[in-house]
Amino acid sequence: MNRTTRLEARADPETRSLIKRAAELQGRSLSDFVVGAAREAALSTIAGMETIRLSRQAQRVFVNALSEPPKPNAALKRAAKRHGQLIEPA
């Protein structure tokens, strides 16, 4: 059984007419059109927020840092020691 929930929205008459016209042009109901458009916008928004985009130069720097990480300096060694103390108290 495919269950659905109700979704409500308010729009001014001009916006409603515009959306209704677009739905009719696609042969869809107003509700189906709105839900479909909202779903597409939601997926696009989520993908955009979950994707990191880097310039080519930044990609090279990132890959280089992964493939040839720098040797730990004194500050990194202190931070690692402090982190270990916070995670595994003595």
- Give the tens place of pLDDT for each residue, 9-68: 999 999 999 999 999 999 999 999 999 999 999 999 999 999 889 999 999 999 999 999
pLDDT for residue 31: 95
Q: Is there a domain that residue 74 lies in?
A: yes
Predicted model pTM:
0.60
Alpha helix stretches (DSSP H) within the chain:
13-25, 30-50, 56-67, 74-87
State how many domains the chain has: 1
Q: Is there a domain that residue 5 lies in?
A: no
Q: Is there a domain that residue 7 lies in?
A: no
Please give the residue range of the domain that contains residue 38.
13-87
Q: Is there a domain that residue 59 lies in?
A: yes
Q: Is there a domain that residue 76 lies in?
A: yes
Q: Please report the sign of the dihedral spanned by the C-alpha atoms of residue 31, residue 16, residue 7, residue 22.
A: positive
Token readout for 40 is 């597409």
